[in-house]
Amino acid sequence: MSKLDLEHLTTKAREAVADTAHFLRTEQSRVRSEHIEEKFMNGLVSYADRQAERMLVERLSKLIPEAAFFTEEDTVENTEAEFQWIIDPLDGTTNYLYGLGHYAVSVGLRHNDELVLGIVHNAVNDEQFYAWLDGGAWCNGQAIRVSERADFRRCLIATGFPSHNFEHAEAWFDTLRSFMKVSRGVRRFGSAALDMAYVAAGRYDVFFEYGLSAWDVAGGAVLIREAGGRLSDFKGGNDFLFGGELIATSGFAFDESLEIVQRSFGK
């Protein structure tokens, strides 16, 4: 797929994502407690998630008819193909269902084993972050780059609290404590996709979390790579998409961040 094809594809996919974000925003006030299901401990879902996912699958299927899908709500069963869309129709579901204004639509595209396109759309304020392979990273038409803060004491850290997988909770608390001591501070807003987009835009310097799924990180990973940032799993390797753990940073903050995480989680 040529660079020109990817740019055009990103433009068309952005339209589908924006329409889905609009649906979620307008539907939020209509969701009631009786509409909420718990798939697993603290794993909430409603008709809004499922409808948003169906909307995305229908629109994106028209862009690449032969593509497979890897989706959070299991709308489709074809998961393996040369092209694969990785979709989180509503990242920040708990925020959404509790009336909090911080949630997003996240879409990534893999070509074979390489992520080539990513979109993260803040549904509340229509701030859309997007990137494609070798095309740079953008937000609403403006180029974005990761932070250039070289002094770790000025760095702002983002993370997600363990919500159902507490296997590494003690290591996570140790890591959090270490970051708190050496940085400007830590934020936890409840959407991994937006945390990664904010790293790409230079608002955060570091994001780390474990217990993640591919749909949480696929879109944001492309943003960070194209914005000049760095990504890894907790071992410093590349198994961050399906490995369930991720560090995403600016170029300056990576080495120290990895060292902090590995002191608690081990190498």
Residue predicted with more confidence, 71 or 168: 71
Count of structural domains, the chain: 2
Residues 131 and 159 reside in one and the same domain: no
**pLDDT tens digits for range 57-95:** 999 999 999 999 999 766 666 677 899 999 999 999 889
In angstroms, how far is CA 199 from the centroid of its own chain?
A: 11
Report the CATH number that the domain containing residue 161 is assigned in CATH: 3.40.190.80
pLDDT mean over 15-33: 86
How far is C-alpha 50 from the chain's CA centre? 18
Same domain, 15 and 138: yes
Domain that holds residue 71: 3-143
Q: Looking at residue 40, what is its pLDDT? A: 47
Q: Are residues 156 and 138 in the same domain?
A: no
pLDDT digits (tens, 9 = 90+) for 218-263: 999 999 999 999 999 999 999 999 999 999 999 999 999 999 999 9
Average pLDDT over residues 38-47: 56
C-alpha closest to that of 105 among 92, 114, 116: 92
In sequence order, which residues have a C-beta less than 8 Å from that of residue 105 and are 6 or more positions away? 17, 20, 21, 24, 52, 56, 88, 89, 90, 91, 119, 120, 121, 123
Instruction: Give the domain-ending residue among 90, 124, 143.
Output: 143
Please indicate, yes or no, whether residues 7 and 125 belong to a single structural domain of this protein.
yes
Point out the domain boundary residue: 120, 143, 166: 143
pLDDT, position 86: 96
Q: Do 7 and 124 fall into the same domain?
A: yes
Q: Write down the pTM of the prediction.
A: 0.92
- Residue 172's pLDDT is 87
In this structure, are 82 and 211 located in the same domain?
Answer: no
182, 70: one domain: no
Q: How confident is the model at residue 21 (pLDDT cuts 50, 70, 90)?
A: very high
The residue-averaged pLDDT of 176-197 equals 96
The pair phi, psi for residue 254, each rounded to 5°, is: -65, -55
The string of pLDDT tens digits covering residues 97-137 is 888 999 999 999 999 999 999 999 999 999 999 999 999 99
Are residue 119 and residue 238 in the same domain, yes or no?
A: no
Rounded to whole angstroms, how far apart are CA atoms 166 and 26?
Answer: 34
Residues 202 and 125 placed together within one structural domain of the fold: no
- Of 122, 143, 164, which residue constitutes the final position of a domain? 143
CATH code, domain with 67: 3.30.540.10
